[in-house]
Amino acid sequence: MRSRTAYITLFLFLILVTLGLRWASEASCKAASKPETLIKKADQCRNSLYRSSKRMKYRHNWLNCIKQYENVYKKYPKSEQAVWAMYRSAEMYKKLNRYSGLEADLDKALEIYKKVAIDYKEHRLADDAQYKRGEIIYHYKKDPTRAYVEFSKVEINFPSGDMLPKAQAKLKRLVVILGKKDSRKGKQGDSSSTKGLTAVKGIRHWSTPTYTRVVIDLERPVKYYSHLLKKDPKLNKPSRLYLDLKNAYVGSDIESSIPIKDGLLQRARAGQYKKDTVRVVLDIQSIGGSKIFRLHDPFRIVVDVSSVEKKALKKRIIPKTETRQAREGIRKVKKPDKTISLARQLGLSVKRIVIDPGHGGRDPGCYFRGGIKEKNIVLSLAKRLAEKIRKDLGCEVFLTRTKDQFISLEKRTAFANVKKADLFISLHINAHKQKSIWGVETYILNMATDKNAVMVAARENATSKKNISDLQSILNDLMLNSKINESSKLA
């Protein structure tokens, strides 16, 4: 009996030991699978590789470490370690290119950096990743135009990031490089006085008493500096906002002084301030704020000025709301209440909508068999849509164009601002490589554009993917004042 009891005790002890080992093993595996542990292991792999010049000559050693980083961000995409893992794997692909010479390694680094900049735009590494894209394209790809766009995205998307000063320094350097590059393509018949200088081709403006946009058109990119001068009653001089355009001259065929007199600006004038500097002066009557940015293809400088916001004198009246007892779930009605407008159903507070029929004039959009052009279809749709919105939503509607004419991107958005639009709707007809794909696409304004959205926007705006930041720049002011929720509901 005692012997049997001993066997049972020993048996139970062995079971407990086995279970204990199993639990310990499972706990160890669970701990090892944590993102902190995985990235530490990947870092050790990378550091070990960097210490051995012999091992760095073999591609599989690089890919082994990169695979470990990939394991982190694929298993734990929402973790803090995922961002660092992506950033370091992109860095490794860039360094690997020095040994492999493969363009594909640089492309992979660009792809991962882009994912960090877009998918993790609130992370402190996002602006670093965007800056790294510019560096690779500039130093490795030897493409200064595309690099200029990538560095511009740091300025546009991460204005508070620590990489902004570096990006701005690169932009200044690239403006000079691109300017010299374009000047070599200049006409042979340039006079000696303007040889190597960029012509100011014209000044355009659109305005209301509360908003004015002035566009300065140039032959090619130039450096420019802006200054704001206060009013000088002694000299009877109004406030003035002026821009000095370096390495530029005023073309003989442009109107050098343009009256505006809209309540914000009195006039815009351009003059040859120095031999190589054009000064564009905006005489100010009364403005609250201004914004200056540049666009490409062709190069132009855009100046937006807005009025001083008047504080409401009357106290805000908050309407009384009826209180009702909350109930669980939503009761489905048998028949929809046709007395409630679509605007109320969607919870829209918009009153004025601008519809933009895409393309027009010299830009036909896509072609169909029989000579049918996109520009004509979207114009017809826009007119029908305008009537439907007026009828169903009771909103005021304006069209950027009512006939077959070309309208620049800055003029379209300026039109929306001049009309004080709550929503801006642009109509296009898209295509797909597969004939079986069909339907309706709706894009909502967003600065974090994915690859497909960039391709569509570039195609529809008759520009290249590398200059898509132009589109983002000019739409930025719309986004700041846009009604995102209403846009989403209406879409």
Q: Which CATH number does the domain housing residue 368 bear?
A: 3.40.630.40
Residue 228, domain CATH:
2.60.40.3500
Tokens coding 145: 């135009």
Is 71 found in the same domain as 40? yes
State whether 461 and 398 are in the same domain: yes
Q: Is the pLDDT of residue 379 over 60?
A: yes
Domain of residue 468, residue span: 342-490
With a CB cutoff of 8 Å and minimum separation 6, the contacts of 173 are none
Which among 106, 158, 99 is positioned nearest to 131, based on CA atoms?
Answer: 158
In this structure, is residue 333 part of a structural domain? no
Whether residue 316 lies inside any domain: the answer is no
For the chain, give percent helix, strand, coil, nearest 5.
45, 20, 35
Q: How many domains does the chain contain in total?
A: 3
Q: Which of residues 183, 215, 246 is at a domain's end?
A: 183
Share of the chain above pLDDT 70, in %: 69
Whether omega before 357 lies within 30 degrees of 0, making that bond cis, reads: no
Query: Residue 132: which residues within 8 A CB-CB, separation 6 or more?
Result: 90, 91, 94, 109, 113
Q: 183, 212, 229: which is the final residue of a domain?
A: 183
Where residue 314 falls among pLDDT bands split at 50, 70, 90? Answer: very low
Q: Phi and psi for 260 in degrees, rounded to 5?
A: -120, -60
Q: Does 140 lie in the same domain as 97?
A: yes
Mean pLDDT, residues 108-117 taken together: 94
Which distant-in-sequence residues (6+ apart) come within 8 Å of 190 by Cβ? 196
pLDDT at 334 over 70: no
Band of residue 202 on the pLDDT scale cut at 50, 70, 90: confident
Lowest mean pLDDT among 111-125, 200-214, 460-474: 460-474
* Higher local confidence (pLDDT), 170 or 479: 170
Average predicted confidence (pLDDT) for the chain: 77
Q: Beta 300-306 vs 289-295: how paired, if at all?
A: antiparallel
Helix H or strand E encompassing 207: strand 198-207
Could you write out the DSSP letters of every residue in 311-339? PP-SPPP----------SS-PPPSS--TT
* CB 394, CB 341: distance < 8 Å: yes
Q: Given this model, what pLDDT does residue 136 score? A: 94
Give mean pLDDT, residues 288-301.
82
Confidence category of residue 297, pLDDT binned at 50, 70, 90: confident
Together in a domain, 122 and 230: no
Whether 158 shows a pLDDT value over 70: the answer reads: yes
Instruction: Measure the CA–CA gap between 296 and 145, rounded to whole angstroms.
Output: 10
Give, in order, the Cα–Cα distances in Å from 53 to each of 95, 99, 103, 105, 349.
Answer: 13, 11, 22, 19, 65
Alpha-carbon gap, residue 373 to 104, rounded angstroms: 38
Q: Residue 342: which pLDDT band, with cuts at 50, 70 and 90?
A: low
Last residue of a domain, one of 128, 158, 183: 183
The region of weakest confidence among 62-76, 133-147, 318-332, 410-424 is: 318-332
Query: Measured between alpha carbons, how far is residue 365 from residues 150, 358, 374, 381 in Å?
Result: 27, 8, 5, 15
More confident residue, 17 or 362: 362
Least confident of 48-57, 295-304, 325-334, 482-491: 325-334
Average pLDDT over residues 421-446: 82
Residues 242 and 226 sit within 8 Å (Cβ to Cβ): yes
3-state secondary structure of 369: coil
pLDDT tens-digit series, residues 231-284: 777 766 767 888 999 999 987 656 556 676 666 777 788 888 888 999 988 877
User: Does 468 map to a domain?
Assistant: yes
Same domain (yes/no): 366, 485: yes
Q: What is the pLDDT of residue 211?
A: 81
Q: Do the Cβ atoms of 294 and 476 come closer than 8 Å? A: no
CATH code at position 119:
1.25.40.10
pLDDT surpassing 50 at residue 419: yes
What integer is the mean pLDDT of 471-488? 57
Residue 460: which pLDDT band, with cuts at 50, 70 and 90? low
- pLDDT tops 70 at residue 14: no
Chain centroid to Cα 253, Å, comes to: 35
Q: Is 19 within a domain?
A: no
Q: Are residues 47 and 104 in the same domain?
A: yes
User: Structure pTM?
Assistant: 0.46
Do 374 and 471 have their domain in common? yes
Tokens of 71: 């394991």
Q: Is residue 5 part of a domain?
A: no
Tell me the pLDDT band of 17, cut-offs 50, 70 and 90. Answer: very low
Residues 222 and 178 in one domain: no
In a domain? residue 30? no
Phi/psi of residue 396, nearest 5 degrees: -85, 135
pLDDT tops 60 at residue 331: no
User: Are 93 and 220 in the same domain?
Assistant: no
Is the pLDDT higher at 16 or at 341? 341
Q: Is residue 322 situated within a structural domain?
A: no
Judge whether residue 94 has pLDDT over 90.
Answer: yes
- Does 362 map to a domain? yes
Q: Are residues 389 and 445 in the same domain?
A: yes
Measuring CA to CA, which residue among 218, 147, 220 is closest to residue 182? 220
Helices and strands of the chain, counted as H and E runs = 14, 15
Query: For residue 313, what pLDDT is reported?
Result: 36
Whether the per-residue pLDDT at 49 is higher than 90: the answer is yes
Average pLDDT value for residue range 14-29? 49
Residue 111 has pLDDT above 90, yes or no: yes
Residues 52 and 175 in one domain: yes
Contacts of 34 (CB under 8 A, 6+ apart): none
CA distances from 35 to 12, 61, 69, 87, 112 (A): 37, 22, 10, 15, 19
The verdict on 232 and 352 lying in the same domain is: no
Confidence of residue 321 (pLDDT cuts 50, 70, 90): very low
